[in-house]
Structure 1
Amino acid sequence: MSEWAAITPEDRDWTFVIDDGCAECGFVPQRADATGDRLRATVPVWREALSRPDATRRPAPTVWSPTEYACHVRDTCRIFRGRLALMLDEDDPVFPNWDQDATAVEDDYFHQSPARVAGELAAQAKATAAAFDAITPAQWDRPGRRSNGSVFTVGRFAVYLLHDVDHHVYDVTRPATPS
């Protein structure tokens, strides 16, 4: 495993991808009601990435390894499923803060087992997919918001989740660029 180095915390507001997509990873916003199927479709890609011999190797000292990205996606599925439940159970809830960078350090993503993470990610993705599958047509417009004021509907929240997952699939599957 390559040596651990601190990753610069992410401070970009990625909500623009809900409407504009992402030129970096090629994400194109699509129907929110396909969220469950699209999320489940990423599980085999993650399993393959985590079975590679380099799954714990960082491509650069301050770029996450496939295992670290998978830990993040696993936790993102869990957090988003909880936030989805809030949006369905409460009127316009404010989501509790989640510092994803602090979580990566506190939970030691760097040293986690790729095989264990693959199973955990699959379970979290499938549970989150099922939660989105259960949404009724009337629920797609229910609101919720982050503490920074970003407002979501369940439908826009689903697109935001899919970008996060798809972007990190891109991170672990894109061809290596020559140094």
Structure 2
Amino acid sequence: MADQVSVLARHYVAEYAELLSADPVVLRRRATPQLWSPLEYACHMRDVLLVQRERLLAARRSDSPVTEPMGRDDRVEHDGYIHQQPADVARQLHDAALLFAHGLDQLGPEDWERTLSVPYPEIAVRSLRWFAVHTLHELRHHLLDIRRQLEHT
């Protein structure tokens, strides 16, 4: 499964781009104050892919690096997710997925077992195989979050 993540990541971001072509007012609407809007989820996923790429490269550079939390909740406000342009986010998300996928494509068979310490969902040492599959899970999960919200508008 891990060896298919780069192909699937490229596929999923195309679906994000399609959803991000919806009405910007709808994309910025939160169903509840605690739930991110579709646009905020897309921005989050863009940033996840960029952070995961850096973590992947760190695991290639050194043995079992310790990675820092990405500050996911702070980014929503600090980067002004709600004010970003959906078309820009779609393009950036596509580019972030390509960068992450390219990094995965560079892994040789022995590299998949390299490890890094990840802070989420709990602090643990994980293989790059787990890391890739977990990132794909996040892509799928947040795509579903966006679809659910757009279906109820």
TM-score by length of 1: 0.78
Q: What is the rounded CA distance, in whole Å, between the counterparts of 1:68 and 1:168 in structure 2?
A: 10
Larger helix percent: 2
Asked if residue 154 in structure 1 is aligned to residue 119 in structure 2, the reply is no
The one-character-per-residue Cα deviations of 1:9-65 (angstroms, maximum 9, x if unpaired) are xxxxxxxxxxxxxxxxxxxxxx10001001000122111111101222222232111
Q: What is the rounded CA distance, in whole Å, between the counterparts of 1:104 and 1:64 in structure 2?
A: 9
Residues 21 and 86 in structure 2, CA contact (< 8 A), matched pair in contact too: yes
The one-character-per-residue Cα deviations of 1:123-170 (angstroms, maximum 9, x if unpaired) are 111111111111110100001003563111000000111111110001
Q: What is the rounded CA distance, in whole Å, between the counterparts of 2:3 and 2:104 in structure 1?
A: 8
Asked if residue 94 in structure 1 is aligned to residue 53 in structure 2, the reply is no
Aligned to 2:140: 166
- Helix, strand or coil: the match of 1:137? coil
Q: What is the rounded CA distance, in whole Å, between the counterparts of 2:38 and 2:66 in structure 1?
A: 31
Count of aligned positions = 148
Residues 46 and 92 in structure 2, CA contact (< 8 A), matched pair in contact too: yes
Q: What is the rounded CA distance, in whole Å, between the counterparts of 2:37 and 2:123 in structure 1?
A: 31
Gaps of 5+ in 2: none
Residues 64 and 125 in structure 2, CA contact (< 8 A), matched pair in contact too: no
Q: What is the rounded CA distance, in whole Å, between the counterparts of 1:119 and 1:70 in structure 2?
A: 11
Task: Find runs of 4+ consecutive structure 1 residues off by over 2 angstroms.
Answer: 59-62, 146-149, 174-178
Q: Please give the root-mean-square deviation of Cα atoms over the aligned residues, in Å.
A: 1.6
- Identity, % of aligned positions: 35
User: Aligned AA for 1:39?
Assistant: A
- Helix, strand or coil: the match of 2:116? strand
TM-score by length of 2: 0.90
User: Aligned AA for 2:40?
Assistant: E
The one of 105, 109, 113 aligned to 2:85: 113
Gaps of 5+ in 1: 1-30
- Helix, strand or coil: the match of 2:29? coil
The one of 35, 47, 59 aligned to 1:63: 35
Q: What is the rounded CA distance, in whole Å, between the counterparts of 2:42 and 2:133 in structure 1?
A: 19
Asked if residue 131 in structure 1 is aligned to residue 103 in structure 2, the reply is yes
Asked if residue 81 in structure 1 is aligned to residue 53 in structure 2, the reply is yes
User: Aligned AA for 1:160?
Assistant: H
